[in-house]
Amino acid sequence: MGIFDFLSGEFIDVIHWTDNTRDTMVWRFEREGHAIKYGAKLTVREGQAAVFVHEGQIADVFTPGLYMLETNNMPVMTTLQHWDHGFKSPFKSEIYFVNTTRFNDLKWGTKNPIIVRDPEFGPVRLRSFGTYSVKVNEPARFLSEIVGTDGEFTMDEISYQIRNIIVQEFSRTIARAQIPVLDMAANTRELGTLVSREIAAQIAEYGLSIPELYIENISLPPAVEEVMDKRSSMGVIGNLNEYMQFQAAESLGRDGTGAAAIQAGLGAGLGMQIGHQVAQAQAGPWGARPTAGPAHAQIPPPPPPVEHVWHVADAGKTSGPFSKAAMGRKASDGTLSRESYVWTPGQDGWLRAEDVAELAQLFTVLPPPPPGA
């Protein structure tokens, strides 16, 4: 390379930055020896800011525009002033470009459940997640507090810290708000605004701001959600007995045999109902019953009365069972007296014969005297 080419390189310098990574927040303009030439052009685009650092200190911040670095009051030193150092200036200056646009769709979420006291369910555990955006408001403060001398600083390097701040403030806000769990979905916007306002001062210490913070979801543990789903299902079902009857009928109707059984049952029930109505119509106004015949329905006779059998206790021994007729004969011949203890199935313990209504009449009705007496 010739001497004129070298001098041309010393006299012409264009400082600018274009970024295609979408996650770079700060980028340092790389120049050999960090020497800024006199008369250099500095281009700061929209959505950027340029921070001049001279001899380790922040000297100036340039907003979007085109600047000629040629005045003596600029905090830069050029190599043209130091020919004796072989074009190597002992005064070093650096330029850091700061991305001042919004970094959107950043994720946050609670790693561990948050325990809150719900007025309806009592203590419950909640999880939540959402998105937020970050913007650099004060490039100089952000450079001094966070970036330092990092030549390329990305959003990933600070997003973890911001997520911790959001989760901490969200936990405090949700605990103090005392909003019922079932009403939180209707208040996510207000909660997000409240959290964003509470952390604004802390984020501002880093030279940042959070223009937007969204709460996408607030959820309960899976076991609690399952119970709530069952409770909701019960409310939708309504009358449980009617629902069970419907389920049984629906299961029978899925196959042909079930449908045939339903039709047969309906037919039989309808036939019985018609026969009963015909019998009532033929009974007449005085309750007369029709004569027996194939065309008339007959009412079955009542079941016969149950006949009791008895056991008799005498001198620590039991005998029986005896029918009521046999008990009458024993009362006649004197082997059964009023004081004899008797028992029949269904009776509560042994009773004297005179205390049993069915046997007491055996001692009150005496036979007439025999003929010829």
Alpha-carbon gap, residue 214 to 138, rounded angstroms:
23
CATH code reported for the domain at 103-224: 3.30.479.30
Q: How many CB atoms lie within 10 A of CB 258?
A: 15
Q: How many CB atoms lie within 10 A of CB 146?
A: 19
When mean pLDDT is compared across 89-93, 121-125, 291-295, the lowest value belongs to 291-295
The mean pLDDT value for 103-112 works out to 92
Which of the pair, 193 or 86, is modelled with greater confidence? 193
Q: What is the largest CA-CA distance in the chain?
A: 176
Residue that the structure tokens 């045999």 belong to: 257
| Contact between residue 170 and residue 198 where contact means Cβ atoms under 8 Å apart | no
| pLDDT confidence tier of residue 179, bands split at 50, 70 and 90 | confident
Contacts of 312 (CB under 8 A, 6+ apart): 318, 319, 320, 322, 330, 336, 340, 341, 342
Return the structure tokens found at 12: 């012409």
Closest CA to 354 of 327, 316, 329: 327
- pLDDT tens digits, 195-205: 999 999 999 99
Task: Count CA within 13 A, CB hemisphere, residue 164.
Answer: 4
Q: How many CB atoms lie within 10 A of CB 15?
A: 19
Q: Tell me what the pLDDT averaged over the chain comes to.
A: 77
Return the structure tokens found at 278: 């015909």
The mean pLDDT value for 252-260 works out to 57
Alpha-carbon gap, residue 41 to 12, rounded angstroms:
8
Which of the pair, 229 or 192, is modelled with greater confidence? 192
Ranges of CATH 3.30.1490 domains, the chain: 310-364
What is residue 84's predicted lDDT score, i.e. its pLDDT?
40
Choosing among 3.30.1490, 3.10.530, 2.20.28, 3.40.50, the CATH entry for 310-364 is 3.30.1490
- pLDDT tens digits, 271-293: 566 566 656 655 555 554 555 55
- pLDDT tens digits, 298-345: 677 777 666 778 788 887 788 878 887 787 887 777 778 888 888 888
What is residue 60's predicted lDDT score, i.e. its pLDDT?
87
Share of the chain above pLDDT 70, in %: 69
| Contact between residue 217 and residue 109 where contact means Cβ atoms under 8 Å apart | no
| pLDDT confidence tier of residue 25, bands split at 50, 70 and 90 | very high
pLDDT at residue 146 tops 70: yes
| pLDDT confidence tier of residue 163, bands split at 50, 70 and 90 | very high
Alpha-carbon gap, residue 336 to 328, rounded angstroms:
8
pLDDT at residue 249 tops 80: no
The mean pLDDT value for 222-230 works out to 78
What is residue 109's predicted lDDT score, i.e. its pLDDT?
93
Alpha-carbon gap, residue 342 to 352, rounded angstroms:
6
Alpha-carbon gap, residue 1 to 20, rounded angstroms:
33
Alpha-carbon gap, residue 64 to 75, rounded angstroms:
19
What is residue 364's predicted lDDT score, i.e. its pLDDT?
72
Ranges of CATH 3.30.479.30 domains, the chain: 103-224
The mean pLDDT value for 206-232 works out to 85
Which of the pair, 62 or 319, is modelled with greater confidence? 62
The mean pLDDT value for 230-234 works out to 70
Contacts of 319 (CB under 8 A, 6+ apart): 311, 312
